[in-house]
Amino acid sequence: MYKVEVNASKSYEVIIERGGIKKCGDTLLRYFSPSAVCIVSDTNVAPLYLDTVKTSLERSGFTVNEFIFPAGEESKTPETLFALWRKLASVPLTRTDIIVALGGGVTGDMAGFAAATYLRGIKYVQIPTTLLAMVDSSVGGKTAVDLPDGKNLCGAFCQPSLVICDTDTLNTLPPQQYSCGMAEVIKYGMIDRPVIFELISKNDVDALVYECVCDKRDKVEEDEFDNGVRRLLNLGHTFGHAIERLSNFTLGHGQAVAIGMCIITRYAVNEGLCDASVLTSLLDVLKKYDLPTSTDLAPEDIAAAALGDKKREGGTVDLIVPLGLGNTVRKKHGTDELVHIVRQGM
Ligand code: NAD
Ligand code: GLY
């Protein structure tokens, strides 16, 4: 079992433990008094884990309600959020009650936004069941829903009160989802935690989740509201988001980020900013998890789509550029430089 304490605007613990969901009721009792909870989950995760979580919470004295929505990014909308608000109000959940997000990043982001806004804010607990959610979205308090105009356009910073990562739940995750989570794990290794490359070769998932959560904790504690060091977590994301959109979401987020990391690393190597061995290590580890390393899309299209990035500020875009393995830097680039950068990175 690993435990990581996050001290942001709210302090909370991230517990990484096999079998953690079977005793989540007792775990919650260590932090909260028995109260009403609303478990938010999707139609893939609920049949697998809802009963286990519900039984454990009820045994520990919590009164359990549930809100289950159709699985998938298409559900991460204001409409689903509205239905969730209505559910919370109909229970009714009060200020001392708790939302429990049981699922991947879609569930966690939406349940977190409901917690940030319902009654002007109530507590929520994250129980992530995808690798991506364990290593990234469940920690750090970014919550959101999508608009037709773009992903995560409406949201709030709202830290959870507790995160329980039961890595046994990863056994049911479809292989492609696991690979997409590995892209984010590899990202941490590239940014500033080269030890992650060693852990990947040992296949120690719990230790990997722990290292990634520690890395995220450091960035969130230093820059909770995403104005500085936290932006390093966007390595590969500016071009990745563009590629994801241009593929009409036929590529998963992690697959697109994998290609985005390759583009910026090839660019850095070709510009003499970074040793070629870094690119070799990146390509090797991405291939190990069946992640793509290139695209047939035109550089001009990728650059144009990247201009829609949320991190664009007027005429500049922040890009995270590798200088070595586990050594990256945040650099502002003029929007007119993007085509050249993508061409260099293809
Ligand atoms: P997801 O929640 O849609 O889960 C992926 C799929 O796996 C879904 O079909 C889900 O039903 C299924 N699933 C989840 N756990 C399972 C399990 N244990 N066994 C079987 N199936 C399971 O997506 P995701 O990849 O977890 O997260 C992507 C979302 O996270 C995006 O909306 C993205 O914007 C968001 N995100 C947020 C942050 C943040 O900091 N808040 C960071 C990264 C990504
Ligand atoms: N997923 C990037 C962040 O939380 O900042």
Ligand 1 centroid distance, CA of 334 (Å)? 33
Residue whose tokens read 């938010």:
40
pLDDT tens-digit profile, the chain (346 residues)? 999 999 999 999 999 999 999 999 999 999 999 999 999 999 999 999 999 999 999 999 999 999 999 999 999 999 999 999 999 999 999 999 999 999 999 999 999 999 999 999 999 999 999 999 999 999 999 999 999 888 899 999 999 999 999 999 999 999 999 999 999 999 999 999 999 999 999 989 999 999 999 999 999 999 999 999 999 999 999 999 999 999 988 999 999 999 999 999 999 999 999 999 999 999 999 999 999 999 999 999 999 999 876 666 778 898 999 999 999 999 999 988 999 999 999 9
Pocket perturbation via mutation, ligand 1, pick of 110, 132, 178 by most ligand atoms within 8 A of CB: 132
Residue 262 CA to ligand 1 centre (angstroms): 23
Going through the chain in order, the beta strands assigned E by DSSP cover: 2-7, 11-16, 36-42, 63-69, 98-103, 123-128, 142-147, 150-157, 162-165, 312-313, 316-324, 327-334
Amino acid sitting at position 277? S
Confirm or reject: Cβ of 237 under 6 Å from ligand 2: no
| Identity of the residue numbered 109 | D
Tokens representing residue 314 in the block: 């007027």
Tell which atom from ligand 2 comes closest to the C-alpha of 140.
4
Structure tokens at 174: 């479809």
138 and 106 Cβ atoms separated by less than 8 Å: no
**Cβ–Cβ < 8 Å for 84, 68:** no
pLDDT at position 311 is 66
DSSP state letters, 180-204: HHHHHHHHHHHHT-THHHHHHHHT-
From the CA of 226, give the closest atom in ligand 2.
5
Mutate to test the pocket of ligand 2, among 130, 137, 139, 218 (most ligand atoms within 8 A of CB): 137
Give residue 128 CA to ligand 1 midpoint distance, Å: 8
Rg of the chain over all Cα atoms, to the nearest angstrom: 20
Residue 334 · residue 322 · CB < 8 Å: no
- Measured from the Cβ of residue 67, the count of other Cβ atoms closer than 10 Å reads 22
> Would you say the pTM of this structure is higher than 0.85?
yes
